[in-house]
Amino acid sequence: MPILALGLSGPGCSGSAKPHEHTASGRPQKHLTVRSAAPIRLPVIVTTRGPNDPHDFDLSLLIPQGARLRQVWFIHGGRQPDQVLVEWIRSRTVSLYGYEFSDTVRWGLILWTQTPPRPANYQAPWKGVAIPLLKLAPGAPNMRVGLADVTSDGHPDVLVEQYPHTNHGCGPHQVVATLTKGTTWRIFRASLCETTLHGIRGLLALDLPYYVNGDSVCCWSKVGKLRLHWNGHRYIRVSDRIVHS
């Protein structure tokens, strides 16, 4: 799979910083590394028709037949069409915690987009794409789902992190964004530790643990604040600062 190198080269723990050498002046060298897979377009797997206002939807139409709705997020903002993110599961167990399920349980995340937009229409077309996921039980502490604008278009994007029975929040972190003409792409995927994806003024913000000599794994002395801008094709580095934690 093609890899895009973001940040600065050097060793890492699932993409995060490890202890570094100091320069002659005593200042730590910047060796943070984030390697993101190339963007991929997510195929439409299902379509339906329904109200243009997602709050009026019969949500059973947005999950596979025989599945149960587990969580739902309504996404609105900017110039992009309204969206609904649904989490479905095939299990009689009702819980928000991953340890209540086995890793073989069938579940998924489907992002629905109204496209093309049809205002004041109860038969508007909706298209659903499946967000790529590890085969891992859903729910805390195995995953995190967030919403934030990280493409500078004013519309919230979907941020998904999975932690496959690892410590320190290690695992795949990805950004799914709906771009022009209602197409949905995974535009960022990297293996990170101790780094919660979030957005700041339309930028993808990564606060990476930055270790110096003597730091333990749990307690880093500094933070690498990496800020990335989506230019329509890929993320480019806007700033990279090392600050005290």
Question: What pLDDT is attached to residue 210?
Answer: 87
Average pLDDT over residues 5-30: 42
pTM: 0.87
CA atoms within 13 A on the CB side of 42: 27
Average pLDDT over residues 195-211: 94
Amino acid at 124: A
- Nearest Cα to Cα of residue 131 among 213, 192, 217, 41: 41
Average pLDDT over residues 87-109: 96
pLDDT at 222 over 60: yes
**Could you read off the pLDDT of 153-167 as tens digits, one per residue?**
999 999 999 999 988
Structural domain range at position 116: 3-244
**Could you read off the pLDDT of 43-61 as tens digits, one per residue?**
999 999 999 899 999 999 9
Q: How far is CA 213 from CA 82, 192, 224, 240, in A?
A: 48, 21, 16, 21
pLDDT at 73 over 50: yes
**Could you read off the pLDDT of 165-191 as tens digits, one per residue?**
988 889 999 999 999 888 999 999 999
Q: How many domains does the chain have?
A: 1
